[in-house]
Amino acid sequence: MASCTGSANFASAWWKAQPSAGGVLDIGVRGDRLDVFGNSGVVVTAYAQSDPAVELGCALIPRDTVSNTLAGMRIPVVAGETYFIEIGALSADGANANYNLVL
């Protein structure tokens, strides 16, 4: 469950990132609808492997037919630490979409 939605995600996908340098990791996501133009309704969350119960960030894009929006967040990272990034749909009808992740 993502803190910025308060509900479970649908059709989640996970990525693992291990930065070679400390600093800030910029995470950008986009969920393109396949039925019509617009956003599929997507949420992205990030966690450190060292403490996976603590969410480091959460961002979302509501489902709409207005635009293709890029949502993002920035999280502090430590060199060599492993981070998990989850992207998922906000609803079952938004699960049929193209997900894009940019680090």
* C-alpha atoms less than 13 angstroms from C-alpha of 37 in its C-beta half-sphere: 3
Give residue-wise pLDDT tens across range 5-27: 888 888 888 999 999 999 999 99
Contact 3, 58 (CB under 8 A): yes
Q: Mean of the pLDDT values across residues 38-64?
A: 93
Residue type, 51: D
Identify each DSSP E strand in the chain by its residue range.
10-17, 23-33, 42-48, 51-61, 71-77, 83-89, 97-102
pLDDT of residue 37: 93
Give the tokens for residue 88.
């998922």
The pTM of the full predicted model, rounded to 2 decimals, is: 0.88
Domains in the chain, CATH or no CATH each? 10-102 (2.60.120.260)
Q: Residue 37, Cβ neighbours under 10 Å: how many?
A: 11
pLDDT of residue 77: 96
Query: Across all residues in the chain, what is the average pLDDT?
Result: 90
